[in-house]
Chain A
Amino acid sequence: MGTNKESILMNVNLKVKRFDPGDSDRENWWQEYNIDIHEDSTVLDALIYVREYEDTSLALRCACRASICGSCGMKINGSAKLVCKTRIVAVAPNGEQIIVEPMGNHPVVKDLVVSLDTFFNQIKRVKPYLQTDHVPESGEYIASNESMENLLTAMNCIMCGCCVSDCTVLEVDDNFIGPAALAKAWRFIDDPRDSKKEDRLKDLNDEDGGVWDCTRCMQCVEVCPKGVAPMDKIMELRDQAIEIGLNNTNGARHAEAFYESVGHSGSLDELRLPIKTFGIFNIKELIKLIPIGIKSQLVGKRPPIFHKNIPGVENIRKIFERYRK
């Protein structure tokens, strides 16, 4: 045991974004560290080495070193990662400098440590616990293994906050419940033991910041280190909301108008899409669209008033028909 004799050291250059609330002279600053470390090391190994031997003031969170505790989410070269499972050779194959920053969309506490208070409050918003009104008389709930295995994809979530860090909606709208909490909600909605499926869907559908606020940018799917794919769960929640008749939202109407337009003409009727989304009587929202209309007219980007079918539209209609069946 101990150090491997054949260990080969490699040089690693880290550029770390620092912040210290006790330092009133500067808001934040960049600091570079140059160290030699075993070539198989992870970014976390490198940061721990720095913290232990180079700069004991560097603050970061880490615990398990095995991608299960969710402590060490950070931005590496601009995208959120668990640094314990990020090998240096994967992000700097030719010895490039590695840029380390705290996660985004979470307030910074110190250096690479962020506050997850808001993150966990958003989790609380979805009532993240089993709610059931049919407790079995004895023993466990009976459920198929498939229905349980299905939930495992969301149960893999370790609440590291990476998805929230890189969520493009949260950058502009901090009321959005966010990908992690919505994936958590999905886990209960799809649990055959839970009795509150409809109430849960209704809350997520009606609530400001609910399932319809996602812009489907895929960032959360991309950065999730545990394969939870939160956006896929959000899309499933939308489908399920519409299925149980929750279609009286901008989001649901938008999806419906999209579907209708393409299904009928083969392309999107961009002029009527917003009207259908907001509703023809929603004067307040429609007035807001007037400046956009004028602007698009001026730059020659106004959609045609008469929306025409595309050539070969019959084939598209056939696809839609087959889908409906």
Chain B
Amino acid sequence: MFEHDILIIGAGLAGLRAAVEGVRNGLDVAVVSKVHPVRSHSNAAQGGINAPLTDRGDDWEDHAYDTIKGSDFLADQDAVEIMSTEAGRAVIELERMGVIFTRGEDGKLGTRAFGGQKVARTFFVGAITGSALLHVLYEQSLKLGLNVYEEWFVTKLIIEDGVCRGVIAYDIKNGELHTIKAKAVIMASGGNGRVFEPSTQSLICTGDGMSLAYKAGVPLMDMEMIQYHPTTLARTGILLSEAARGEGAYLLNSNGERFMEKYAPDYMELASRDVVSRSEQTEIDEGRGINGNVLLDLRHLGRDYIEKRLGYLQEVSLEFLGIDMAEKPVPVRPGMHYIMGGIKTDVNGLTEIPGLYAAGECANVSVHGANRLGANSLLDTVVFGRRSAEHAIEYLKSVGPNSKSENDLKLEKERIQSVLDRPKGENIAKVREDMAKNMTKGIGVWRDQKSIEGALENLTNIKNRLPNISVENKGKFFNTNLIFALELEFMVDNAEAIIHGAITRKESRGAHFRTDMPERDDKNWLKHTLIYYDVNNENNVRVETIPVTITKWEPIKRVY
């Protein structure tokens, strides 16, 4: 049995930022991650990180309002106020840690424009901002001597007397199962893109943390809010950053028209992501697409500019599609990218279970509401990663010692052995693909009662197949076959919460656009949907709603 003050699940930006805070305060902190920290999906963020820096004429209230309008007024405004007021400090701190932000003429940090915001306030490192931030936080973790359980996979949260006390984790390298006790646990396990197919997300984004918390009794909030990114590469679905449009790229239909003129005359290509994705899909559906895509045109930016400011995008376009962006427009289409929903937390990252915190994409504070602005996710990770750790540090002062019980370990050993012992049955990848394609079909850019019910019916079918999937590989060493089986169970929980969120919300708001109910309904639906795992209810699901927190921005019609 291992033991720490704070255990963090996930070594992406939220997890590492939380860890740095804990170690700096002299605590015994450890991170458990199923991949090495620098492999985490934070890497994939390209465009930048938002911050309203007052010393250059920006105002936190403007950023907060852009964020709230972007969220289609579903974000909790107290949480957004915190994120906006702490953003400047967070970005400056990252710079001082060593991030090589692109600069302006005056040697200060430079900015680029991003969607849904009238002011250019996105700080960036070429088109590799996430990777640059992740590597710098990893550097800090090396400097501080952070303890990392690398390639350990968490299978269960330990909850004793209603308090979170650690995890059970499986060492992928040798197949051993262990108890790691902690006085506080911070979930920073990222998104669940693999629930959909295709998705821009990494193969490791299987919603583990959301499922673990859900099964422990914590509600998942606004899970129907799935962001489809407007520019994912044709065929492969690889992300092409909003930075391209931030730097001036056009979106064209098959007639060569900048079609955003029709949908968002004021913001054009830089409207909110949900708006741009729907506009693209409309063009494609009405026959003005090119093989199911529209075109992203960067040619007028010039080769030098593209290679300097958007080098990674050019690399991706060349390597995966063989298209030189300086010469030809790139075919793109909307693709599943991010989940605004997640583990419900308060503004300190605390969940409904004492000792259990959540931060980053797996959490829902909620600062993104029904649609996240580009470059707000990196900000979310560092602000709420730090705040979770700060609150956990206070909580540690009042919490008693951990018990010596290893009961959960015994139960998990038996459960995992039973998965390994199943007779030959269904193929894991096949079942996942069936689930994920149906999720994209039912919970897509557009949805309606019929499509959502279709997704539910299919998921019920998937759940029935789940006990029949088999793990053919019985080996102890690096048995990814077993990991995929366990991940699939997590993904099914995520899919279930997403579908129930979508069925519950009887309106269109942000990313949740129902063609059968196309209007936003503030009278009835200025509310969050909460999905609880509840064995006493039908399908083991209980749905509740709570009102949105409004501080000073009354909802108005959202026009770009």
Instruction: List A residues at the B interface (Cβ < 8 Å).
Output: 1-2, 4, 20-22, 40, 51-53, 56-57, 59, 61-71, 85, 87, 109-111, 113, 116, 120, 123-124, 127-130, 135-136, 138-145, 148-149, 151-152, 155-156, 158-159, 188, 191, 193
Q: Which of B101, B333, B440 lies in contact with A148, CB distance below 8 A? A: B101
A-side contacts of B96, CB under 8 Å: 130, 135-136, 140-141
Residue of A nearest to B471 (CB): A56
Q: How far is the CB of A38 from chain B (nearest CB, A)?
A: 9
Given A22-B475, A70-B38, A148-B103; A64-B43 close (CB under 8 Å): yes
Q: Counting chain A CB atoms within 10 Å of each CB, which of B44, B311, B478 scores highest? A: B478
Given A69-B39, A69-B43, A85-B320; A193-B128 close (CB under 8 Å): no
Total contacts A-B at CB 8 Å: 159
Q: Counting chain B CB atoms within 10 Å of each CB, which of A1, A20, A120, A129 scores highest? A: A1
Given A57-B472, A64-B43, A67-B316; A145-B478 close (CB under 8 Å): no
A-side contacts of B95, CB under 8 Å: 140-141
A-side contacts of B478, CB under 8 Å: 59, 109-111, 113
Q: Are A145 and B107 in contact (CB under 8 A)?
A: yes
A-side contacts of B92, CB under 8 Å: 139-140
Q: Are B472 and A56 in contact (CB under 8 A)?
A: yes
B-side contacts of A113, CB under 8 Å: 478
B-side contacts of A110, CB under 8 Å: 477-478
Residue of B nearest to A56 (CB): B481
Q: 6 pairs across A/B with beta carbons < 8 Å?
A: A1-B333, A57-B481, A59-B480, A63-B204, A130-B96, A139-B55
Q: How far is the CB of B84 from chain A (nearest CB, A)?
A: 18
Given contacts A140-B109, A148-B101, A155-B100, 13 further A-B contacts (CB under 8 A): A1-B333, A22-B475, A22-B476, A59-B478, A59-B480, A64-B39, A65-B236, A65-B238, A66-B238, A85-B320, A140-B92, A140-B95, A158-B38
B-side contacts of A70, CB under 8 Å: 38-39
Binds A, one of B134-142, B449-457, B550-558: B134-142
Q: Are A2 and B107 in contact (CB under 8 A)?
A: no
Q: How far is the CB of A142 from chain B (nearest CB, A)?
A: 4
A-side contacts of B477, CB under 8 Å: 20-22, 59, 109-110
Given A130-B97, A158-B131; A66-B108 close (CB under 8 Å): no
Give complex CA distance A143, B101 in Å. 10
Give complex CA distance A127, B142 in Å. 9
Residue of A nearest to B444 (CB): A1
A-side contacts of B116, CB under 8 Å: none
Q: Counting chain B CB atoms within 10 Å of each CB, which of A21, A56, A113, A152 scores highest? A: A56
Q: Which of B39, B125, B131 lies in contact with A71, CB distance below 8 A? A: B39
Q: Counting chain B CB atoms within 10 Å of each CB, which of A66, A128, A135, A152 scores highest? A: A66
Q: How far is the CB of A113 from chain B (nearest CB, A)?
A: 5
Q: How far is the CB of B471 from chain A (nearest CB, A)?
A: 8
Give complex CA distance A68, B128 in Å. 8
Q: Which of A2, A4, A53, A64 lies in contact with B41, CB distance below 8 A? A: A64
Label chain A's interface by main secondary structure. loop
Q: Counting chain B CB atoms within 10 Å of each CB, which of A62, A63, A70 scores highest? A: A63
Q: How far is the CB of A321 from chain B (nearest CB, A)?
A: 36
Given A57-B472, A68-B131, A155-B100; A139-B126 close (CB under 8 Å): no
Q: How far is the CB of A10 from chain B (nearest CB, A)?
A: 15
Flag whether B535 is at the interface (Cβ < 8 A). Answer: no
Give complex CA distance A128, B136 in Å. 9
B-side contacts of A52, CB under 8 Å: 427-429
Q: Are A130 and B142 in contact (CB under 8 A)?
A: no
**Cβ contacts B202-227/A at 8 Å (1 or 0 each):** 11100000000000000000000000
Q: Which of B109, B125, B143 lies in contact with A155, CB distance below 8 A? A: B125
Give complex CA distance A158, B42 in Å. 13
Q: Are B103 and A144 in contact (CB under 8 A)?
A: yes
A-side contacts of B291, CB under 8 Å: 4
B-side contacts of A111, CB under 8 Å: 478
Q: Are A191 and B102 in contact (CB under 8 A)?
A: no
Given A152-B126, A155-B100; A143-B107 close (CB under 8 Å): yes
B-side contacts of A123, CB under 8 Å: 142
Flag whether B525 is at the interface (Cβ < 8 A). Answer: no
Flag whether B26 is at the interface (Cβ < 8 A). Answer: no
Q: Are A57 and B475 in contact (CB under 8 A)?
A: yes
Q: Which of B174-215 contact A (CB under 8 A)?
A: 198, 202-204
Given A20-B475, A70-B39; A85-B100 close (CB under 8 Å): no
A-side contacts of B142, CB under 8 Å: 123-124, 128-129
Give complex CA distance A129, B135 in Å. 10
Give complex CA distance A136, B439 in Å. 50
Q: How far is the CB of B268 from chain A (nearest CB, A)?
A: 25
A-side contacts of B40, CB under 8 Å: 69
Q: Counting chain B CB atoms within 10 Å of each CB, which of A2, A109, A139 scores highest? A: A139
Q: Are B316 and A66 in contact (CB under 8 A)?
A: yes
Residue of B nearest to A144 (CB): B107
Give complex CA distance A1, B198 in Å. 8
Give complex CA distance A66, B427 in Å. 26
Flag whether B393 is at the interface (Cβ < 8 A). Answer: no
Q: Are B125 and A128 in contact (CB under 8 A)?
A: no
Flag whether B292 is at the interface (Cβ < 8 A). Answer: yes
Flag whether B173 is at the interface (Cβ < 8 A). Answer: yes
